[in-house]
Amino acid sequence: MNKTKRIKSALISVYHKENLAAIVGKLHQLQVKIYSTGGTATFIEGLGVPVTTVESLTDYPSIFDGRVKTLHPKVFGGILYRRDEAEDQAEAAKLGIPDIDLVIVDLYPFEETVALGAPEAQVIEKIDIGGISLIRAAAKNYKDVVIVPSKREYLPLLDLLEAKNGETGIDDRRKFAAAAFDISSHYDTAIFNYFNREFGEPVFKQSYTDKVTLRYGENPHQKGMFFGNFDEMFEKLHGKEISYNNLLDMDAAVSLIAEFDEPTFAVLKHNNACGLASSPVLLDAWRKALAGDPVSAFGGVLATNRTVDLATAREIDTLFYEVLIAPDFEPAALELLQGKKNRILLRHKPEKTLPQQQFRSLLHGVAVQDRDLSTETVADMKPVTLAQPAAEELTDLVFANKIVKHCKSNAIVLAKGKQMLAGGVGQTSRVDALKHAIEKARTFGFDLKGAVMASDAYFPFSDCVELAGEAGVKAIVQPGGSIRDSESVDCCNKLQIAMVVTGKRHFKH
């Protein structure tokens, strides 16, 4: 079988027409017969290129306001019949079915219409029927037909037409077919997920067409890619190529900083907060956040929920860090921070929130869960001890609890005056997490007298309360739920420590 084929006829039916004129002009130059529909046919005629309407081919009109245009045996027969099968050739000749060697389709913008919040009637009309059928038919018969399934493939097709003068090889056609099934499967996934928002069927279907090849994965010997539209959430203003580890830290940073309304700065390392503070003055928040662990801040990821001003930028500029995320930058601050060529500066678009579901690959499958969207307030904190937390302590308990929620378990956070004093994270026992936090706080010169403590899960024993009391902690927040809760409460009463429970555990692995 001759695997090289010349394109002699083409069917073009597209939504987006950018870059189409050059293709049409090249096809005309190659003397390719062009069939088309509706607005696409009008566009081609406007270029002065002869075009045969599908209605002329099928002798049947476009009906139901364009819902049915190409769904006809003469169209699909011309795409699907096997050129190397004598019976197919004879049947096509008998029925007057012409060859269609090239199909160019661009589907209705279903996802874009959903994203605009259009009413359902408009969304439904953007479910392409004829186009998706043409894509599948042409891709199935890739041995004979070239399929261009989206505007993304317009330029690759034009390059192919220029390079091979209208000839295509089997590898060319198979590559376009693979792209076609990528497009069709993604389109169907988007439609299913739209309908499943109402019903919530336990089905895992995700598809991303935007992708970026990363320098490597977590380590240089691992390959890495990011699938998704990075630009929906961030505008990259400066810096080197973003890495896999940067992305993990950025995800953690965005999730954490979203918890705070007043001016706040966070410093993260390996997905954990190593410093965080809130203050009416952003520069003060930065200084207090950095003071929490100036050693770990080296090479970290910084995030704030306010515009970075020049005064703050001057102090940030003295630190080596990987990424700085902010809703905006004063022009002078941005100019200063761009002085280091590798540091990554990102403008966060807060209107684009993180998905409400999370998933990760594990074993031979995928685990899916709802994102932890529970943020406890003063109203959620139930006192269980004789001592009651003072107003300032309650404020700090809420503050510390927001941070510990985003730390790797087992996690303990110590705080005072809306400043994170230290954290013990990722430990195999809760008491080790507390010991680590106390040691760090003392290393960086913090007095823990009057501090509060937050725990991501309950205390299995009273040892954490005893250690916290010895260190000077005066109020504790934890979810509660241990069969030994009473031991921790009794210990608090003995040490005159206030304890509140929330009923919400915040494990993070």
Residues catalogued as catalytic: 140, 270
Sign of the four-CA dihedral 196, 198, 202, 206: positive
| Residue whose pair of structure tokens reads 């993990």 in the numeric block | 248
- Other beta carbons within 10 angstroms of residue 313's beta carbon come to 21
Cis link prior to 410 (omega < 30° from 0)? yes
Residue 475 identity: A
DSSP 277: E
Strands (E), 82-175: 102-106, 146-148, 167-168
449-479 per-residue burial string, b: 16 or more CB within 10 A, e: under 16: eebbbbbbbbbbebbbbbbbbebbbbbbbbb
- Other beta carbons within 10 angstroms of residue 380's beta carbon come to 16
- Nearest Cα residue to 471 out of 494, 503, 449: 449
What lies within 8 Å, CB to CB, of 253 at 6+ separation is: 266, 268, 301, 302, 303, 323, 325
- Nearest Cα residue to 413 out of 252, 292, 501, 509: 292
Residue 171 identity: D
Q: Are 14 and 149 in contact (CB under 8 A)?
A: no
Q: How many helices (H) and strands (E) does the chain have?
A: 18, 23
- Copy the structure tokens of residue 122: 């408009």
- Copy the structure tokens of residue 241: 């190529």
- Nearest Cα residue to 472 out of 436, 438, 435, 422: 438
C-alpha distances in angstroms, 404 versus 261, 272, 397?
17, 9, 10
Q: Are 182 and 209 in contact (CB under 8 A)?
A: yes
| Residue whose pair of structure tokens reads 């109203």 in the numeric block | 379
Q: Are 402 and 385 in contact (CB under 8 A)?
A: no
Q: Are 242 and 258 in contact (CB under 8 A)?
A: no
* Residues forming beta bridges with residue 53, ordered by sequence position: 36
3-state secondary structure of 88: helix
